């Protein structure tokens, strides 16, 4: 049976060019949703083309969601093109560097926070006025179980902020007909990134490789299943929370880490 959970719904998916975001955009379209696929990279247009070739409805939009202007432009584009926003999936984020905290430079700490907290903060702020006007809407934030993890302290702090944002927004706006939840993915097997998070593209040193392996080892050890998850295993709970199947769930962060609760 083909699901139509998102029929007649307009869904913004951020970070839609690769990885989990791409999987979310494709699945929502396959379940009848109209998708605005948003990313900083023009690769997002390939995702839109794939959706259209499968008979779905989608448009792409490039924006820098580390800025409020970028988030505002995204929502304005969705309203101009599709007239409404029913669901917002905030997927932008991800570790840029992996190292013990004392080795992070000031600029690197700030970059990690801008990457993994501000896109969600700005996008929620940009979408809320329309949802409040209509007295309905759903927001799903993508956090991480790495709020407890090694060699990623700035990223962990950013995702802790996403968790707090999720809970606080739900307390403010569930009474206004808006549900806000998050998933917290654990380690996830994904194809190599076509656009690296570290734009400097610096080849990792032997020490960098050891530090990153520490992240991998801790991730696997912390999971009761002792493995990484798949893209599909991360997409499914995001879609559940975004759909009416989760109509009595709000203010919740759902760990999706094979038993690692973060």
| Mean pLDDT, range 35-54, rounded to an integer | 98
Whether residue 250 is predicted with pLDDT greater than 60 in this model: the reply is yes
Position 5 in a domain: no
Q: How confident is the model at residue 237 (pLDDT cuts 50, 70, 90)?
A: very high
* Predicted confidence (pLDDT) per residue in 124-168, tens digit: 999 999 999 999 999 999 999 999 999 999 999 999 999 999 999
Could you tell me which of 5, 184, 205, 207 has the C-alpha nearest to residue 86?
A: 5
- Structural domain contains residue 162: yes
- Over residues 121-130, the pLDDT tens digits come to 999 999 999 9
Calpha distance 183→241 (Å, rounded): 8
Close Cβ partners of 167 (under 8 Å, ≥ 6 residues apart): 251, 253
Q: What is the mean pLDDT of residues 4-27?
A: 98
pTM score, two decimals? 0.96
pLDDT surpassing 80 at residue 201 = no
Closest by alpha carbon to 25, among 253, 242, 195? Answer: 242
- Whether 244 has a pLDDT exceeding 70, the answer reads yes
C-alpha 154/C-alpha 108 separation (Å) is: 9
- Read off the CATH number of the domain in which 89 is found: 3.40.50.720
Q: 115, 144 in Cβ contact below 8 A?
A: no
Can you give the residue range of the structural domain that contains 229? Answer: 10-256
CB 162 within 8 A of CB 185: no
Determine the pLDDT at residue 204: 85
* pLDDT score of 126: 98
Q: How far apart are CA 217 and CA 253, in angstroms?
A: 24
How high is the mean pLDDT of the chain? Answer: 96
User: Is residue 65, in this structure, part of any structural domain at all?
Assistant: yes
User: Starting at the edge strand that comes first in sequence, how are the strands of the sheet with 178-185 ordered?
Assistant: 57-62, 34-39, 10-14, 87-90, 137-142, 178-185, 253-256
Share of the chain above pLDDT 70, in %: 97
pLDDT band at 257 (very low <50, low <70, confident <90, very high): very high
Residue 196's pLDDT band (boundaries 50, 70, 90)? low
Tally the domains of the chain: 1
Cα separation of 199 and 213, whole Å?
Answer: 21
Going by pLDDT thresholds of 50, 70 and 90, the confidence category of residue 82 is very high
Q: Is residue 158 part of a domain?
A: yes
Residue 154 is assigned to a structural domain of this protein? yes
**Assigned domain for 3 exists:** no
pLDDT at 252 over 80: yes
What positions carry a catalytic annotation? Answer: 155
Confidence of residue 193 (pLDDT cuts 50, 70, 90): confident
Cβ atoms of 256 and 185 within 8 Å: the answer is yes
d(CA 175, CA 183): 21
What is the SS3 assignment for 119? Answer: helix
In a domain, 157, yes or no: yes
């Amino acid at each position: 049976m083909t699901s139509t959970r998102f029929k007649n719904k307009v869904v913004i998916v951020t970070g839609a060019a690769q990885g989990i975001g791409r999987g979310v955009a494709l699945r929502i379209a396959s379940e009848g949703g109209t998708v605005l696929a948003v990313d900083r990279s023009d690769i997002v247009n390939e995702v839109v083309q794939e959706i259209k070739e499968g008979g779905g409805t989608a448009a792409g939009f490039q924006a820098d969601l580390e800025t409020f202007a970028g988030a505002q432009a995204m929502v304005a584009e969705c309203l101009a093109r599709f007239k409404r926003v029913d669901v917002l999936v905030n997927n932008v984020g991800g570790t840029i560097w992996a190292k013990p905290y004392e080795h992070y430079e000031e600029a690197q700490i700030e970059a990690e926070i801008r990457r993994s907290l501000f896109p969600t903060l700005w996008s929620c702020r940009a979408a809320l006025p329309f949802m409040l006007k209509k007295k309905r809407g759903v927001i799903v934030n993508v956090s991480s179980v790495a709020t407890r993890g090694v060699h990623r302290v700035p990223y962990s702090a950013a995702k802790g902020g996403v968790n707090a944002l999720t809970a606080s927004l739900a307390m403010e706006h569930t009474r206004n007909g808006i549900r806000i939840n998050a998933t917290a993915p654990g380690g996830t097997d994904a194809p190599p990134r076509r656009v690296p998070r570290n734009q400097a593209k610096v080849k990792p040193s032997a020490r960098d490789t050891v530090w990153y392996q520490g992240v991998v080892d801790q991730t696997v050890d912390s999971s009761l299943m002792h493995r990484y998850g798949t893209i599909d295993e991360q997409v499914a709970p995001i879609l559940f929370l975004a759909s009416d199947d989760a109509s009595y769930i709000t203010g919740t962060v759902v760990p999706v880490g094979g038993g690692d609760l973060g």
